[in-house]
C-alpha cells in the first residue's frame, strides 16, 4: 500500500508536466495524454481487481462496482450519488473529490480545474472498457471539491 499523499503528489506533478501553467498552446494534447495514462491504468487495474469477482449482471451492476469498490480502492470513499436515465447516461457525483480538495475554489481558478479531472476521467473510461463498456467520460466541477462525472455509454 502506497501512502495516499504520495499518490496525490504524483498526480499533481503529472498535471504540472503535461499542463504547465504557462503553456499557451497544444493544451488539449496534453490533457489527452493525462487521460491516456488514466485509461490504461484504469483498464489494467479493473482487470486485476475484478479477477475474483462474480460476473456482472448488467451495465448498472458494472457502474455500481465503479462507484463502490473501484472508487474506494483509489479514493478511500465511495461515489456519493449515482443517477442514470436508463438510456446509457450515468452521472456519478463525488461531493469531496480528493484531487480537488487541495485546490482553491475561487472563481478565478475555475478554468484551471479541468486538468485535475482528466486523469480520473481516463481511469473510469479504462475500467469500463475492460469490463466491456465503451463510453465517453466527461467531468465538471460543481462547487470545488464537489465533482460530477458523466458517463455516456456508446452502443454499437
Tell me if 144 sits within 8 A of 103, measured CB to CB.
yes
Which residue, 2 or 107, is less far from a copy of itself as judged by CB?
Answer: 2
Least separation in angstroms between CB 87 and a copy of itself: 32
Q: Which is nearer to a copy of itself, 122 or 145 (CB)?
A: 122
**Distances in Å between the alpha carbon of 141 and those of 3, 54, 106, 155?**
26, 34, 12, 27
Minimal distance, residue 125 CB to a copy of itself, in Å: 14
For residues 13 to 42, the per-residue mask of contacts with a copy of itself, x marking binding by CB under 8 A and - elsewhere, is xx-xx---------------x--xx--xx-
What are the C-alpha distances in Å from 92 to residues 78, 95, 108?
10, 10, 25
User: Residue 141 in 3-state DSSP?
Assistant: strand
Chain contacts with a copy of itself (rule: CB under 8 A): 1-7, 9-10, 12-14, 16-17, 33, 36-37, 40-41, 44-45, 48-49, 73-74, 76
Amino acid at each position: 500500500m502506497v501512502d495516499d499523499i504520495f499518490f496525490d503528489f504524483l498526480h499533481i506533478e503529472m498535471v504540472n508536466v503535461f499542463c504547465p501553467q504557462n503553456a499557451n498552446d497544444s493544451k488539449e494534447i496534453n490533457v489527452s495524454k493525462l487521460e491516456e495514462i488514466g485509461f490504461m491504468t484504469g483498464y489494467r487495474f479493473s482487470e486485476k481487481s475484478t479477477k475474483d469477482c462474480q460476473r456482472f449482471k448488467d451495465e448498472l451492476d458494472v457502474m455500481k462496482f465503479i462507484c463502490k469498490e473501484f472508487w474506494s480502492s483509489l479514493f478511500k470513499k465511495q461515489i456519493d450519488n449515482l443517477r442514470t436515465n436508463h438510456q446509457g447516461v450515468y452521472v456519478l457525483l463525488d461531493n469531496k473529490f480528493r484531487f480537488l480538495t487541495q485546490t482553491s475554489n475561487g472563481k478565478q481558478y475555475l478554468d484551471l480545474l479541468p486538468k485535475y479531472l482528466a486523469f480520473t476521467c481516463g481511469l473510469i473510461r479504462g475500467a469500463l472498457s475492460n469490463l466491456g463498456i465503451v463510453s465517453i467520460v466527461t467531468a465538471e466541477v460543481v462547487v470545488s471539491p464537489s465533482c460530477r462525472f458523466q458517463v455516456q455509454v456508446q452502443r454499437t
